[in-house]
A and B are shown apart, each in its own frame.
Chain A
């Protein structure tokens, strides 16, 4: 069966520090991968999505970046965090067949920037 892992689960970082959130998927090949952010009291904001290794599309201009060094690995990074980067970050994967629309989400990473 397919599983998705995100880490770390919780992170407290000072303003201006770097960030790396990692997401890995098991049990599937060539998935579509997504990074979402949830700010307090708000819905889901799509940050990045990827249809393959090295292929990243950015939905919102910001100081975050994403990379996909391996088929089932998706990394969210920042060189210098801002206070506004605080939030709940969710990684998700989707397939390529008729069920492609069904997303499976990780448990999330809570980032607090102080």
Chain B
């Protein structure tokens, strides 16, 4: 079982819709959770971090964390074609300073 799992996609949504990206993780000791956006051929860019159960909103992005179910999700409201990218979920445990990355979900937003 992979430590951090994401559906590879592509997830296709129309412009203006809500895109929902999901991630599950296996280590119950995980404490920190991150979403990175990566455009093709570019480096990962940190867009959201979440540390406690519940929702965290930042502009059009909302990260949701449920530690009991071991999943974290990212919602993108009012999706734009410029949101088309691969979204990487990353998880860190309390006793390590390393991030474990999922392989990413490719999002396509069509006009």
Is chain B found bound to chain A in the same assembly? no
Contacts from B to A (Cβ < 8 Å): none
